[in-house]
Structure 1
Amino acid sequence: MRNIFIKKTILIFLSVITFFSCKTAEKTPEKQPNIVWIVSEDNSKHYLKLFDENGIETPNIASLTNQGVMFTRAFSNAPVCSVARSTIISGTYAPRTGVQFHRKSELAPLPDGLHMFPAYLKQAGYYTTNNSKEDYNFVKSDTVWDDSSKKASYRNRSENQPFFHVFNIGTSHESRIHFTKEDMDAALAKGELDSFNIQPNHPQTELFQYTNVHYRNKIQEMDQEVGAVIKELKEDGLLEDTFIFYYGDHGGVLPGSKGYLYETGLHVPMIVRVPENYKHLTHLKPGSTTENFVSFIDLAPTVLKLANVSIPEQIDGKPFLTPEETKQDHTTFGYADRFDEKYDLVRSVRKGKYKYIRNFQPFNFDGLMNNYRYKQLAYKEWETLYNEGKLNDVQSTFFKSKAPEMLFDVENDPYETKNLANDAAHKNTLLDLRSSLNTWIEGMPDLSFYPEHYIIDNALKNPVKWGQEHKKDIKKYITTANLMLQDFSSIKEKVKVSLASKDPWERYWALIVCSSFGKEANALKTTIKNIAKTDPQALNKVRAAEFLGLTKNDNPEQICLEALYSTNNPVEALLILNSITLLSSKDFGYSIQIDTSKLKPTVLKDAQVLRRIEYLIP
């Protein structure tokens, strides 16, 4: 009997232990927080008084700081919608994944095994909604959004379901300052002209003054829409369960900002409101300001971390709200390639207060015609004043060939008007940032060292894999391109070897290097003339003709037109037309007469080509 009693006692004891063990194991996990993004289009931090003395009051955005963290060093990685949003939705650098061109000629697939990040939230039980702009350069699957439309709302979720909601505001978009002279005259007659400072690289005119006022008025209208979203969340009793991110989707739209890697194109306002019930998820204190660097590449992993969802290895960014992942290097990278019909190739890195910009095709001056930009009256006036010789040196820079590399102290020179690249006192900083940028572009690797049409034809089925397979070649092209950073006398023989390379894209970059030196490279003009006549790659003939035209060694018209008429590829044609537009500009003055009847039908149907033709044949 005694043994039976002992056995029963042991069984009861084990049952009690098991019961409490099960209770511990069955502990209900913390409910995931809601996350809302309020995204305003086309405004850098420079136009909000909350971030800049020369900005306008935005009380609704400012209200988020009461229980939020203000990020004074937040950056888009690209200065235009589709490339910036492709970076955000994937968490990957666009030049690595083949989505760096705006507008896309073809959609690229996401890297193998990677989804647009809201898909991971959806798998974890979130209701995912987007109201409503997408503008991705990636192929999109149906796994991303429960609803992406102008009617999308978190209110349509199941009861107690956590949600991720994006609310896009287009009120501050570039198109909203395509006003007419009549519109301006009517406003001026009412006395609508406040005293905002015009940035120093802009003409100090009435039109630019009014454009500043009109744009800031649109920002105030946008602020009211931000307030409406906050009010809705409050009325629904959701504020203390919801992280609210407010940010601009890239820089502003005053001339020389959107589409350019200057601070006005990349440095955006950002505030994250931390809900009371989830303040333990971040080490940053509500009501505080931080100078930690944040880039758009970091948004996807930050949201996934807040939702307690695993971050895919293919994502390039890091979370920025948790202490163990806070970035300490204070560095951000930027990229600019094609914007509609206008080509360039520019990369940037900012580290602390210094900004380094690398112009890989420096003869493509900033003010080169871009149809959509020049719908803005201020752009038109700026160009007119330049052509009439009425601008000072700083204001004229926009229409002049650029230096291959530029270095700015953006704290003391916020509008990047004084290039310190040749200042001996800043040599170490220059070399450090140059090295950082080269390490980054080689490491991706950066696909833009091939022409866009070649990427589409050869790499776009799997850009990341293709880039890795061609990493050595890309590094070779970068090395060739960087010859323009040395004295020509010291690298002339290397350029000559590259001009004779069997690799067409090494020849391509050697020709661009020659154009960057201009007349300094005239010692190689005989070789370049031969390339213009005999190179099997039509685009290399154009690059050779471009050099001969820029240096006034030969008229480039015949070679450029032969290449243009011979191609069936509209993207290749667009790159040729970029050279023709450059050579037709005021400072070079060639009159290249295009006969549209000689263009291939596939070329003539392309919308971007037609924009160039419309400009070149008024």
Structure 2
Amino acid sequence: MKIKYILPALVLIINVACKGQEQTNQKPPNIVWIVSEDNSKHYLKLFDKNGIETPNIEALAKHGVQFNRVFSNAPVCSVARSTIISGCYAPRTGAQFHRRTELVPMPDSLRMFPAYLRDAGYYTVNNSKEDYNFEKSDKVWNESSSKGTWKNRQQDQPFFYVHNIGTTHESRLHFPESDMKDAPTTANIDEYTVQPNHPDTELFRYTNARYRDKMVEMDNQLGEVVKALEADGQLENTFIFYYGDHGGVLPGSKGYLYETGLHVPMVVRIPENYKDIIDLKIGSQTDRFVSFIDLAPTVLNLAGVQVPGQIDGKPVFGNGVDVKKLDKENVAYGYADRFDEKYDMVRSVRKGKYKYIRSYNPYNFDGLMNNYRYQQAAYREWKEMYEDGKLNELQSAFFKSRAPEMLFDVENDPYETINLANDSNFGTTLKEMRGLLNEWVSGMPDLSFYPEFYLVQNAFDNPVEFGRAHKKDIKNYIKTANLMLQDTAIAQTELKKQLRSTDPWQRYWALIVCSSFGDKVNALTPVIKEIAKNDKEGINRVKAAEFLGLTKAANPAPAMLEALYTAQYETEALLILNSIVLLNSSNYGYKFSIEENKINPDFRTEKSEVTRRLEFLNTQVH
């Protein structure tokens, strides 16, 4: 071993010993992650009776632990992966938007966690997807490419290796409908139940089966990685994690905070030479809650590396964990903001068997156009059937405004179809879950209570510090946003006050709350009309016009188009276009004659999200 690896390895061994880790092997363990893209636990029979057999993953479980309660904190790639690499909640670090318009720095001098492993003597390899919303450092990976391999390390050097499998990515379901005849599935299309909120059509059954074929293909690729470790003599020196990077991708999964978007499979194979350093038995299952913020500290803990205090997560197994405390901490949080050109703001908390979803823009219905989603034929069919009146109430919910609060018993209602928020029998549970979420968003604090374009211009040099400096303001915005949960009469008095606030973002949230109430706060229409004409913030004029359009009090087009033509920032224009697409949808049917030459040409580049929105709007005829 070269000298430069001897000292870090000695330091690592001393750290491990000091932590009381009783290992049969002095060398720290290798750690391998095998990550499949875009699949929730619902597709694997190991986790769900409606899934398909995956023998290689099942073999890992037989010599390891099956984790039944693992949750991505975000239901989309870059935000989920930014959470993993930092160990931090994305809405407090500025990493919550997909696709990013600007990279943000890592918070508080924190480094991407593989850098700490590398400092400790590990050879760190990523093969090959990164997709982080953070500024990149060249000291994180020894290798990061499609050719990356642990075999390039020094002799006896421990390694951390990430192997990404794209076989199950959403794009694999972007097939022509003719494939139903031309490309039969190996999986039996009649063997898998269509979700209750989906139409039970030939296309949905075919899509279900085709995606399960991808699970099998992915499983075979995972098996090849395991075989390579075994052939290299490293199998019993290596912890192998398999997990999905978030949920998806049947309609309403990826991009949404339902269980199909967040609840992922995870299995950890435990090597014989290190089985004594964790509390879980080989061949067992656990319902211990694991969030993606916990993956980094868990790996650092296994490696004997001190977990930085800036990380939000905690080790969920390994030396020194408080097992009794872990088994009681059955809470996981989720977040969804802008995904591509589609804006929304939704937060969730799951505790035990209950799931609480808080929609801060509840009128932004789930099925609002997102170009990438609708490249999937099943999405298009679902939308067409809704517009043709061929769906039942449950299947139609995706295309209608949501309740601001939703509460589900996910053990008895796994596809979150029955909202218990208004059931008096669950009043205590609702209050508890609401309190957990409010404490979380205010404690971070959650930067999304400012519009994205404002954050880009004012916060992205140091998002975490911006959040600290504006924590009191954010708490006030949360308080205003929560008026939509109050009795209308009580809320209306406070809304009238906030609509005249000198703080533009208090006005912004008061307008959003008014739109959530709709006709119930028609008494506020005169002051909202005044805002639509005169507010200094263009986005507030838009939000006022949005209320007027939703309540049919006035045509929203003039105010929205004027704000679009004078927008100073691309994400400001994109947020305005989101409101235009909403009101242009079949639910409302307003027409917008957009003069594209009046929009800042810098926003209309070939690949911009603004261009994507404009292309869609140009196809709409009502």
Q: TM-score, normalised by structure 2?
A: 0.94
Is the 2:187–2:213 contact (alpha carbons within 8 Å) kept by the matching residues of 1? no
- Write the distance in 2 (CA, Å) between the matches of 1:29 and 1:289: 26
1:258 aligns with 2:259: no
Residue 613 of structure 1 corresponds to 614
Q: 1:47–1:55: 8 Å Cα contact kept in structure 2?
A: yes
Decide whether aligned partners of structure 1 residues 188 and 116 sit closer, same or farther in structure 2, where only a CA change above 3 A counts.
Answer: closer
Q: Does 1:428 align with 2:428?
A: yes
Q: Which amino acid aligns with 1:617?
A: N
Matched, 1:236 2:235: no
Does residue 276 (structure 1) correspond to residue 277 (structure 2)? The answer is no
1:293 match: secondary structure: strand
How big is each residue's C-alpha offset from its partner over 1:429-483, in whole Å with a ceiling of 9 and x where there is no partner? 0000000000000000000000000000000000001100000000000000000
Where 2:321 maps in the other structure, the secondary structure is helix
Structure 1: give runs of 5+ residues left out of the alignment: 1-23
Deviation at 1:325, TM superposition (A): 3.9
The worse-fitting range, judged by mean Cα deviation, of 451-460 and 175-184 is 175-184
Q: Does 2:497 correspond to 1:497? A: yes
**Superposed displacement of residue 113, structure 1:** 1.6
The aligned counterpart of 1:387 is 387
Cα displacement (A) at 1:71:
0.3
Q: SS of 1:107's equivalent?
A: coil
Q: How does 1:83-162 map to 2 (within 5 A)?
A: 83-162=79-158
Q: Which residue of 2 aligns with 1:560?
A: 560
* Aligned-partner Cα distance in 1 for 2:407–2:346: 13
8 Å CA contact 1:568, 1:602 repeated in 2: no
Structure 1: distance between partners of 2:496 and 2:417: 35
Could you tell me how far apart the structure 2 residues matched to 1:373 and 1:525 are?
35
Kindly provide the amino acid, as one letter, of the partner of residue 535 in structure 1: D
CA distance in 1, matches of 2:186, 2:294: 45
- Select 1:212's aligned residue among 201, 208, 217: 208
* 1:181 CA displacement: 1.4
Match of 2:45 in 1: 49
1:192 deviates by 5.8
- What SS does the corresponding residue of 2:420 show, helix, strand or coil? coil
Partner Cα distance (2:483, 2:128) in 1: 45
Aligned to 2:366: 366
**Other structure's SS at 1:245 match:** strand
| Equivalent position of 1:297 in the other structure | 293
Conserved? CA contact 1:207–1:378, under 8 Å? yes
Q: Which whole-Å CA distance do the structure 2 matches of 1:510 and 1:448 have between them?
A: 15
For residue 368 of structure 1, report the CA deviation from its aligned partner.
Answer: 0.1
1:324 aligns with 2:325: no
Change (3 A) 1:271 1:389: same
How far residue 189 of structure 1 moved from its aligned partner, in angstroms, is: 10
Partner of 2:6: none
User: Structure 1's 188 and 286: CA in aligned 2 closer, same or farther, altered over 3 A?
Assistant: closer
User: Which stretch of the first structure deviates more once superposed, 115-124 or 192-201?
Assistant: 192-201
Distance 2:258 2:24 in 1: 49
Q: What is the CA-CA distance between 1:597 and the residue it aligns to?
A: 1.0
Residue 193 of structure 1 and its aligned partner are, at CA, apart by 2.8
Pick from 26, 30, 39: which aligns with 2:26?
30
Residue 178 of structure 2 aligns to a residue whose secondary structure is helix
The amino acid across from 2:119 in the alignment is: Q
In structure 2, C-alpha distance between the alignment counterparts of 1:324 and 1:192, rounded to whole Å: 44
Where do 5+ consecutive residues of structure 2 fail to align? 1-16
Report the TM-score, using the length of structure 1 for normalisation. 0.95
> Match of 1:507?
507
Root mean square deviation, CA, Å = 1.5
2: CA distance, partners of 1:472 / 1:51:
43
Q: What is the CA-CA distance between 1:186 and the residue it aligns to? A: 1.5
Distance 1:523 1:150 in 2: 60
**Paired letter, 1:172:** T
Residues 538, 563 of structure 2: 8 Å contact kept? yes
1:584 equivalent in alignment to 2:615: no
Cα distance change on mapping 1:352 and 1:525 into 2, 3 Å: same
1:316-343 per-position Cα deviation (integer Å, ceiling 9, x unaligned):
0000113624422200000000000000
Q: Indicate conservation of the 8 Å contact 1:569/1:602, yes or no.
A: no
Taking the aligned partners of 1:111 and 1:239, their CA distance within structure 2 comes to 35
Q: Distance in 1 between matches of 2:461 and 2:340?
A: 22
Identity %: 65
Pair 1:173-2:173 in alignment:
no
Cα contact 1:408–1:416 (8 A) shared by 2 = yes
Equivalent residue, structure 1, for 2:308 = 312
In the alignment, is the contact (CA less than 8 A) between 1:90 and 1:117 conserved in 2? yes
* Structure 2 counterpart SS, 1:324: coil
Residue 288 of structure 2: SS of its match in structure 1?
A: coil
Alpha-carbon separation, structure 2, partners of 1:170 and 1:526:
53
CA contact (8 A) 2:112 2:140 kept: yes
For residues 487 and 426 of structure 1, the distance between their equivalents in structure 2, rounded to whole angstroms, comes to 18
1:564–1:573 Cα contact (<8 Å) kept? yes
Q: Deviations over 1:45-99 (max 9, x none)?
A: 0010000000000000000012101000000000000000000000000000000
Which whole-Å CA distance do the structure 2 matches of 1:396 and 1:188 have between them?
29
- Residue 68 of structure 1 aligns with which residue? 64
Q: What residue number does 2:11 align with?
A: none
User: Quick one: distance in 2 between partners of 1:189 and 1:362?
Assistant: 38
- Whether the 8 Å contact between 1:319 and 1:325 is mirrored in structure 2 is no
Q: CA deviation at 1:190?
A: 9.6
Task: Give the 5 Å matches for 1:544-559.
Answer: 544-559=544-559
User: If you compute each CA radius of gyration, which structure gives the higher value, 1 or 2?
Assistant: 1
CA distance in 1, matches of 2:113, 2:494: 45
Q: What SS does the aligned partner of 2:218 have?
A: helix
Determine if the alignment matches structure 1 residue 399 to structure 2 residue 399: yes
Rounded Cα–Cα distance in structure 2 between residues aligned with 1:82 and 1:382: 27
**Structure 1 stretches of 4+ moved >3 Å:** 187-192
Which deviates more, 390-399 or 603-612? 603-612
Counterpart in the other structure of 1:221: 217
What is the letter of the counterpart of residue 502 of structure 1?
Answer: T
| CA–CA separation in structure 1 for the residues paired with 2:590 and 2:424 | 38
Corresponding residue SS for 2:108 = coil
Residue number in structure 2 paired with 1:19: none
- Other-structure match for 1:5: none
Partner Cα distance (1:141, 1:90) in 2: 12
- The residue matched to 1:291 in structure 2 has which SS? strand
Aligned-partner residue type, residue 125 of structure 1: G
- CA shift digits 1:373-405 (9 cap, x unpaired): 000000000000000001000000000000000
CA gap 1:48/1:206 in 2 versus in 1, 3 angstroms: same
- In 2, Cα distance between equivalents of 1:466 and 1:355: 30
Deviation at 1:602, TM superposition (A): 1.4
- Aligned to 2:265, the other structure's residue is in SS state strand
Partner of 1:600: 600
Q: SS state of the match for residue 103, structure 1?
A: coil
Provide Cα deviations, 1:210-236, integer angstroms capped at 9, x if missing partner.
000001001110000010001111111
Report the Cα distance in structure 1 between the residues aligned to 2:60 and 2:603, rounded to whole angstroms: 50
**Within 2, Cα distance between the matches of 1:292 and 1:472?**
34
CA contact (8 A) 2:187 2:212 kept: no
Q: CA deviation at 1:187?
A: 3.2
* Cα distance in 2 between the residues matched to 1:266 and 1:191: 25
Contact residue 315 and residue 321 of structure 2 kept, 8 A = no
Aligned to 2:8: none
In 2 relative to 1, CA 560–421 (structure 1 residues): closer, same or farther, beyond 3 Å? Answer: same
Count of residues in Structure 1 that have an aligned counterpart in Structure 2: 594
Distance 1:232 1:589 in 2: 57
Contact 2:185 2:206 in 1 (8 A): no
Q: Quickly say closer, same or farther: Cα 1:190–1:241, change in 2 above 3 A.
A: closer
Secondary structure, in 3 states, of the residue corresponding to 1:448? helix
In 2, Cα distance between equivalents of 1:131 and 1:188: 31
Residue aligning to 1:457: 457
